[in-house]
Every structure is written in structure tokens, then in C-alpha cells.
Structure 1
Amino acid sequence: MPELSGIDTYIIKTVEWCNLDCTYCYFYHGQDTSFEKRPRHMSRAIIEAFVPKMIEHSQAHGIDFVHLTFHGGEPLLQSKEDFTWMMEQFDRIDAAGIRTARKLTTNGVTLTDEWAELMARYNTHLAISLDGSREVHDAARVDLAGRGSYDRVIRGLRNALKWEGKGLNVGTITVLNPTENGSDLYQHLRSLGVKSINLILPEANYVTPIPVVNPDRSYAQLLKEIFDAWVEENDDSVDIGFFGDVVRAVAGLPASSDQFGFAPVRVAVLETDGSVQPTDNFRSCADGMVELGINIFRDSIDDLYYHDFFQLCINQQAFIPEECGGCKFVNVCGGGRISTRYSREEGFKRKSVHCDALYGILDHAAKTLQKNSLA
């Protein structure tokens, strides 16, 4: 299979502010402060400049399928009129022979039935942030007045699920918190009717440490518990992307998730001022790290793609951390997501701060698969 080139995933920051103040948010509570200087909403002029340049880049690199994700901040704080207009502009991409997967990531607080119906018209993949039980969710995902958001998120999720299979594909995003038992977390999400579950380790590195929410429990333990609950249910309709990558990785197949250092990060972020940047996980590393001076009004997508920093994202597997030498999963994990390896002293040369969690779930999955194959 020929090596892919170019950028095929775009995070479109339509709104630069949020109605929640999540304690672990790398965007507003990380190292980067650039959001303070940007417009709160993306203008239509930015999308008008973006669409033809994205088409040009895709055609030049032979890309015939792209992912377009509305993101923020909180993208449902834009107007429905602007959302509809932007979706119509994206129709031009499909008309150029480049298929689009349209996605939206939301905290769910303002997710009404009207919003769900509108997104369903455009065959949207919707991801709603939900961290588990009310207690765990409300401990971190609070509004600007410090109130928990669980009840509002559940209401939004139920509004969305009415449109499941009618143009809307609904899933959840869970930032992991070892306070909760993994089996309980899994059963809670399943009881709500969720079949697409995205598990995320909190964005951290040697500058921004991993949140310690329960010193007696580890992220590895939590992941193992969720994995066992998933395996025990044995329902092929339940998709957990993180575990799908884990299973593929231990089977010797390529991983698509950038939780592993061997997956090239071919992601561009379009900001509300027209800036075009690498994936914003790097905001947790250093202030201004993703500020490369590239703007959609002035520059091409190729200008980002061929920038030395972006090429580092793509070729991160070229430099395995020395600390990983001798690890039995080094050819699977690759040292972990590149942003989680960062330290001020050594740049990206350290192993992931999530090494214990990644090693733990890879080892557990490998043993589980071996045991099941012998059963």
C-alpha cells in the first residue's frame, strides 16, 4: 500500500469560547493562551477561503476522503444559520469528488431537538462529552458558575438519540477518571443507549502533569476494567475506538489512533482568526507552540503540511524514546502520543507520561486475546 501524503483531517474551531469550565481542559487550562486574542466566532470569510484551498490540497495529494469536525470551545454556541451555511459550503467539497465525513464534538449542554434534527440533515457524526456517572462527571465538567452539567448533558444525549440512524450517528467521549470503577462506567454508558464510545486519557506531559484524582487507583486499572466489561458483553455493535486500536496493535496491525506514537498525525486545525495549525494537543506543552504564522487567507494547506513542525507530527515514529528500549510493546506503542512525551529540557524525547496506562492495557489485551484463542 503506498504511503499516504497530505492532510485528511480538519478540526474547525467555529467557536473560541465555552459555556463549561472543565477542570482538565487543556485548551483553557493548559500552557497556551492564544485563545485570549482570537475572535469568539469564526467568520464566513474564513470558510470561503478554506474550502477551495482544502480542495486544491486534497486533489494535489490524491486524497478522496476527508474528515471535517466542528469543534471549539463549544460549537453549538454558533448560530444554526451559520452552521447550515457552512455545511452548504462543504457540499462543494463533495461536488469536487472528495467525500466528506462531517462531525461535531459538543459538551451537550445546549443540544436541543432542533439542533439534532439540523445535524441529521447533513449526516453528522456527533460526539457528546460524558465522563460517566453524575458524581464523576460533575466533579470536573462544571459550568461557569461551578454547577455540574450532567443533567443537561443527559437531556442533550437523549435529544440526539431520537435521531440515531436517521442521519445522525451518536457517540460519547469520556475523559478517563480512575475514581470510577470501569465496569460501572461501561454499564452506565450502555444503559443510556450509547454504542459508540471514545475513551481519552487526559492530555498531559512532563509540563502539564496527569491529574491525580485517586492515588489508590490507576488509569491502567480503569482501562482493564472497561476492556473486560466490553469483552464480556460481546456485542459487535458496540464500538470503542481506543480498544479497537489496542486489539489491532497487539495483533500486529497498524493503529489509527494517535494515542500510539506509530500513528501519523495528519490533522490540521482551522482557528477563528484563520490561523492553520497542527493538532491542538500541543497546547498543553508550551504557550504559542502551534502558532506557526500560517493563515488561510494568505497561505496554502501545503504550507502547513510541509512545515518542519507538522512533519514531526507525521514522522514521530522515526525517533523512539531511549527510555522505551527493550519494551516488548515498543513496536506497537512507539512511545505514545507525541504531545504526551514533551518536557522543557528534552523536547519530545521522553516516553509518554501515560506509559503505565498504555503498557497495562496492551499487556492485558494481549493476554486476554491469547486466553480466548486457547479457550
Structure 2
Amino acid sequence: MTGSPHPLSQFVLKMHSRCDLACDHCYVYEHADQSWRDRPAVVSDDVLEITAKRIAEHARTHRLDTVHVVLHGGEPLLAGRDKLRLAAQSLATALSGVCALDLRVHTNGVTLDEQFCELFAEFDIKVGVSLDGDRAANDLHRRYRNGHSSHTQVLRAIDLLRGPRYRHLYAGLLCTVDLRNDPVTVYDALAALAPPRIDFLLPHATWDEPPPRPGNSATPYGDWLLRVHDRWTAAGRPMGVRVLDSVLRTLRGASSLTESLGLAPVELAVIETDGALEQADSLKTAYDGAPGTGMNVTANSLDEMAVHPGIQARQQGLEGLCETCRGCPVVRSCGGGLYAHRYHSADGGSGFMNPSVYCADLKQLVTGIRDREEQRTPMPELHLDDGHFDEIAAGLGGTEAVAQLTRHELTVNRELLAAVVHESTHSATGAAAWETLAALDSEAPESVDMVLAHPYLRPWAQRVLRGGEKAGRIAMRGVAELAAAALLRAGRAGTVTVPIHAGVLRLPTLGAVAVDEATEARVTGNGDGSFTVRVQGRQHLVGPGSAADPAWLALRRFELPGWSVALEDTDPWRDQHGYPVTGRLTASAAEAWHQDLAGAWEWIQRELPAYAPGLAAGLSVVTPLRESAAGADISSAARDAFGAVAIARPGTPETLACLLVHEFQHVKLGAVFDRADLYDPACEQLFYAPWRPDSRPLEGLLQGTYAHIAVVDYWRARHRTAHGDEAYDAEVRFARWREQTAEAVDTLLASGALTPLGERFVTAMGDTVTARLSDPVSPDASTAARETAADHKERAAARRP
């Protein structure tokens, strides 16, 4: 047996092989494969235990970050709470310390009650429910055996999940397309239930048993889904729609969210109630025994399952498709369609090497969405004009040039926030907060912009979008924090409920409230500039006319002449800089920072006036770092925290001035990288960097060189203003850094990896440094500088392998 290049990470665990409904479009009971008849109705305890061990063994072997398990059927709730509890416990225990577990249950909802929901809440089991639309649409298929409607019971279950107690469990709705139903009516009925996501499934069909096409229309299913797309888009895309999101993602070159689209390898296995290891259930529609592998968890590992020919056939991407599909212009979005829908027993026994029976529909859907996206009015792209680009490239950048970068970074933050809301499961608290934030964005956009421009919004959003066990909770907590802060900044009356983490209520750009171990707080704007925080029977009043509350940790903002800067020591997401941050500063420590920042700013305005306007326009936050035990200067700029730098308070305001202008160079260049391709990211060469003991990749060298333009200018100014030994030391440093920065510019230009725009940018950097080479420097300082530089280069060369 050879190892599989694509380990399995998604598992469907059959809890019960029978159902309490008789849906006539069910692939389990109504299609070619009838193996359910010979299987036990309920999974055994032994099968559950060995399945959990097999999954953990596979995850450990392949170092998986997360495994996704869906408890399924038939109808899984028929297995009962004890059996479901055992499944959850077995999986959680086996995977503890191995990887994260994403556990879900998919149900028809008719027997879902509070007792089941309590069990699911205990194990954080997300719940998906099948519903085909309004009552008329749903009753076409989803009925009891006596023909009675299941619609009322399903709505009751969804109402239970939508309530505040269980909203965090609500995973979404699954709807099977029926052309007899109006797509807009179906979408509206489902959207009214506020699901986090909707899955629209094409009815299972093959070339042997093709789907109905009323009126002989060539693309009725594609047209049906496009009408849903248009309604969804007109409504602002308020929830995820898996098939539509997958098309949009694949058009952008990203991965699909469903096995029915895209070219990503399928990593799915099904465990039946008797322990049989099978391929995807959708294959039951092809022929009797199609999903079978002949394997069982009691005898076979998941590594063996992963190299089964049926699994590997679906992991070959483009090479696994028929010739017609490989030559199709939309194949990277369509992916050939669902594997089962390609089956054709005739035509020389071609099996699954055919286009999907929905080929024309899928092409219609993909091209229709593509064309609509091209015609949509895009968000205005904020381009730097030539003059502002050249200002930034020269190492400087005035007020308007940096303001353009700032506006673009706000746009990025808005897009990230939208992605968080779009991709996350909405709790009732999160949904209400999002509604508040959306309303404020219309009524008080300046206040929302101030909050969304917060430097530490992006690290939060990126953590959410990476996914993982706690992503949903982090997402909705952050949305609520942003909404509460925007409400208070707008001075509006209203209340936002905010989940609490680690005893801190975070209010970005305002501060934080220490609330011990509470789980949530109600933040109420009083409309008079004050606000009230109610948590666990306690009340904190903050604002004009209220006594100082020790729980309120206000963000300290210093209004210096021409520069407003905050000292950020409260935000839990500020720890992004590679060095330990301080805790909450004492009042005296904060005042010392205030005085040093005032002194540093006055020095920058006087001695480095070309840097002052841009810094004032783009640097809004300084995050204090813990001081080095050795007394070394420490500073950092995080690539994804535009507008912030982190610094351990140095010994003098002049040194603080150097650290500020140096780190703000990194901030500016990071924003340029967000907007322009300056180099080929495929370049893997490492380069000598005069300021580092190690060789650097091209981006690292570019960042360091750009930052050292400010370092050169700092020591140039210090040489002019200092006296005695300090003046000589500054002269040596100026001489060294101007020459080595010029050398680094030459290295960048000779790398062959800069884009034309990158060459223009680096050339402008070089012009600034070259202008400094004409400044007179004493022979002694020049010699000392060259000796120091040569020594550094020798030591760096000795360290290279």
C-alpha cells in the first residue's frame, strides 16, 4: 500500500440507518443503492469507539489541524441522546491533544427539542437542518409516510435554534432544488429564518436517470440558481450560500466550499452503522454498491481507506476528469460537477469519466455569476497618483500621500470585517451587533470608520478567517465589540450585548472594562456622552458627571501639537509585534510616556520635518513593550497592524524619535505592499543585510532598506545637533548607514526580482540615499564606519553555511 498524498479529514458518521420521514428524493432510500436494508438500524457502541480511535490515529499520523465529523443518517436523532452523547464523548476523548474537532449533526429537525439542544451545547455540536423552502415547496418531498406535512415541526426546531440560548449551534439550512418551486420564493422563505448558511443541492441524477427538464430547457437548474444569486446579491448577501460562494471563490482562484464544485481533492469518508467504510453517500444514486470499498473500521485503517482507488480517483484534480471537462473554460470552477452526477453505464462502460449530467447548467451558473461580477460596481480602488507614489518611494510621504494609504487600509479592514461576518456562524448576539453596526454605518459613518481603522482589527479578523475551534466565538465577540465602540463614539443611545473573554470587555479605540469572569455585558450609550456597562448584577457608569470607576481602563490619547496618538495598553489583540507587551500602565508610567512622546515629536518636527506630516497622518497608536533586561532598545511594526508601532520606552526622547520614524517606515511600506506588487514573491534567494546577523529574503531586505532611509536621516540630524563624543558617534553611524543603505539599494536593483513598479520604487529610495553621500564626513568617522561595516560583513559571511 502506498501512502495517500491527501489524508482524510472529513467524516460522515451514520448514527441511524432509518428515517421518520419518507422524502421521495432521498439518495439513501430512493436511489440505486439499497444497502441500508442489510445494515443495523443503530450504530453500535463498539463501532463508535473504534471509529473515534481510527480518526485520531489518522489525524495524529498526518498531523491534521482539524477533523470535521457530521453525525448523520437516515435521521441521526433517532439514535437517541445516549448514543449521540457516546459518539461525541468518544470523538472528543480520542482527539484530545491530537487536533481540533469540528462536530456537527444534520437532521430533518422533526424531533429536535431542548434536551437534544442541551446535549449539543455541551459538546458544541453545530446543527444543520433540511428544509426545502416554504410549506408548499417543502411538502413536495419532505413528508411523513402517511403523507402529512413536516413543515410545522421543522420550523419549530429552527425557532429553537434561532433563540438566544442555542443560536450558536445553528449551522444552517439544506435545500434540494425543485424546478416546480419559484427560486425567489424559496430563497425568501429560507432567508427569513436567518440561517448562517444555506446549501442548495441539485437533485441527484445520472446520465442513466437524468433530471427532469420541463419544456426541454437546456439550463433550467443553472437559471434557477442564478435567480437565487440575484436575489441574494440584491439583499446584500446576508448569509453564506455554499454553492454561490464556491463559484465566487473559485473564480478568484480560491478553493470551493463543496465537493460538487472545484478541483480540490475530496477528503471524505463515510462510516456506516455496521462500521463499513464507504465513499460519499451521493454515489448511492449511481448503482447498487457504488459507494462500497469492502473495508470496515474494525479491520481497516483510514490510511487504507485513503488509498482506495475510488477515493484516489477523486483526488486527481484536472487529470481525473474526462477530456471534455479538461478542455472546458470554466473547469476550475465547475470541477466536473459532483462525481456521482457524471455516471453513465452505457457508452462502452465509461462509468464516471463523463461530464456532469448538469454540465450545461453548471456552465450557465459559473459564466452567469462571472459576468454579473464583472458588471457590478466595484468598491472604489484607491490608487496613489504618481506624485504621491514617488513621495512614499523616496522614503517620505506627506499628509495626503499617507492619508491615501490610510484610506486604503480602512477599505481592507472593511473587507476583512465583511468576510468575517460572511464566513462565520452568527449567534443571536452577533447578529444583533452586526445590525447595529450596519445601521450606524449609514447614520454615523465617521464614527464607524474611526473604530474600523483601529490597527488591531486586522489581526482579529485574520485569526477568525483562519478558522479553528474558537473562530466563531472570536468572530461574534469582535463584531459586538466593534458595534459597541461605534455606538459610543457616535454618542447614540442604544444597547449592545458584548460577549466577554478573560474578564475584559474590549471597546476598540476607547479602552476596556475589567469585568472579572463574566460571560457577557450590556453596553448602553446614554446619549449624553456617558455609557453604562451592566454585567452580572453590577453596573459601571463611565463618562461626564460620573465618578471614576476603577474597572474602566480608558485608552490614553495624547493631543500633541499636530499629532493625536494613543498609548494602547488595553487591547488583547495588541500582542502582534514579536516582543512581550506591557500590562496596563500606571498613571505615572503613562505620564512618563506622554512627556517622552511630546519630546520626541517636538524633535521630529524640528530636526526631521519631512517625516512629521506623514507620521501624523498615519501613526495613531503606540503600544508599549516590556523593557529589555539588558537595556537594549526594542521596537517593532507588525505587518498587519497598520497605524501602530510597538516600542519599549527608551532612555531619551531623541532615541524615541528614531524608533518612531524607523518603525513608521515599515508601516508605510506594508501598506504599499497591500496595494502594489514590487517584487516577485517566488524569489527564494537570501541576501546580505547590513543591519542583521542573518541573511534576508528579498521582502525583508526591502523592508530593512526602506526603514534605514529614516535611520540615515536620524543620524544625519543627530550629527548636526549633538556635541562632543555624541556628535562623533552620530557622525560614524551616519557614515556607516548611508553607505550600507546605498549598498542594499544596489543589491535590490541587481536582484532581478523587482517588478517594473518595484524598480521605480527602489530607484527613488536610492536617489534619497545617494543625496546623503555628498554630506561631508571627517576622515576618522569615515574610516571607523567602513571598519565597522567590514567587520559586520565578515561575521555575517562566517555564519552563512
Range class of TM-score, shorter chain: over 0.9
- C-alpha change, 1:51 and 1:25, in structure 2 (3 Å) is same
Corresponding residue for 2:352?
348
Match of 2:369 among 357, 361, 365: 365
Per-residue displacement from partner, 1:127-164 (whole Å, max 9, x unpaired)? 10000111111011111112221111111111222256
Contact 1:120–1:166 (Cα < 8 Å) also in 2: no
Q: How does 1:198-213 map to 2 (within 5 A)?
A: 198-212=199-213
| TM-score w.r.t. length of structure 1 | 0.93
Q: Which amino acid aligns with 1:278?
A: Q
Shift of 1:294: 0.5
Q: Which residue of 2 aligns with 1:76?
A: 77
SS of 2:314's partner is helix
The residue correspondences of 1:40-189 to structure 2 (distance < 5 A) are: 40-162=41-163, 167-189=168-190
Q: Give 3-state SS (helix, strand or coil) of 1:86's partner.
A: helix
Q: Is the 8 A contact 1:160 1:170 kept in 2?
A: no
Aligned mates of 2:82, 2:249 — CA distance in 1: 41
Matched, 1:249 2:250: yes
Q: Is the 8 A contact 1:161 1:170 kept in 2?
A: no
Match of 1:272? 273
Contact 2:60/2:98 (<8 A) preserved: no
**Greater relative contact order structure (CA < 8 Å, 6+ sep):** 1
1:226 — aligned with what? 228
Offset of 1:325 from its aligned partner?
A: 5.7
Structure-2 separation of matches of 1:208 and 1:100:
38
Displacement of 1:374: 5.5
Separation of aligned partners in 1, 2:206 and 2:21: 23
Of structures 1 and 2, the larger Rg is shown by 2
Aligned residues: 372
Contact persistence 2:255–2:262 (CA under 8 A) = no
Cα pair 2:105 2:125 within 8 Å, conserved: yes
RMSD: 2.0
Q: 8 Å contact 1:223–1:357 — kept in the other structure?
A: no
Per-residue CA deviations over 1:83-117 (Å, capped at 9, x if unaligned) read 11221112113413210101111111111122122
Name the counterpart of 1:285: 286
Aligned mates of 2:51, 2:274 — CA distance in 1: 12
Are the aligned partners of 1:30 and 1:283 in contact in 2 as well (CA < 8 Å)?
Answer: yes
Judging by fraction of residues, say which structure has more helix.
2
Q: Give, in angstroms, the shift of residue 333 of structure 1.
A: 1.6
Whether contact under 8 Å (2:56, 2:98) holds in the other structure is no
Equivalent residue letter for 2:66: F
Q: Is the 8 A contact 1:93 1:99 kept in 2?
A: no
Per-residue deviation, residues 237-284 of structure 1 (Å, max 9, x unmatched): 511121111101122222231112513211010111111111111111
State the alpha-carbon separation in 2 of the partners of residues 283 and 316 from structure 1. 22
**1:21 deviation in Å?**
1.1
State TM-score, norm by structure 2: 0.45
**Aligned partner letter, 1:361:** L
Q: Secondary structure at the match of 1:28?
A: coil
Identify the range of structure 1 (13-22 vs 194-203) with the bigger mean alpha-carbon deviation.
194-203
Secondary structure of residue in 2 paired with 1:140: coil
Identical counterparts, % of pairs: 27
CA distance in 2, matches of 1:220, 1:101: 32
1:276-302 CA distance string (max 9 Å, x none): 111111111111122221111111111
Deviations, residues 160-210 of structure 1 (Å, cap 9, x unaligned)? 222566541331000111222222222111222323211111121112322
- Residues 120 and 169 of structure 2 are in contact (CA less than 8 Å); yes or no, is this contact kept in structure 1? yes
Distance 2:263 2:182 in 1: 30
Q: 1:52 & 1:365 partners in 2: Cα distance?
A: 43
How far residue 358 of structure 1 moved from its aligned partner, in angstroms, is: 1.1
Question: Deviation of residue 42 (structure 1)?
Answer: 0.2
Q: Structure 1 residues 163 and 293, CA, compared in 2 at 3 Å: closer, same or farther? A: farther
Find the residue that maps to 1:292 and give its secondary structure.
strand
CA distance in 1, matches of 2:232, 2:15: 34
Partner Cα distance (2:273, 2:326) in 1: 42
Amino acid at match of 1:327: C
Instruction: Give the distance between the partners of 1:214 and 1:134, measured in 2 at CA.
Output: 25
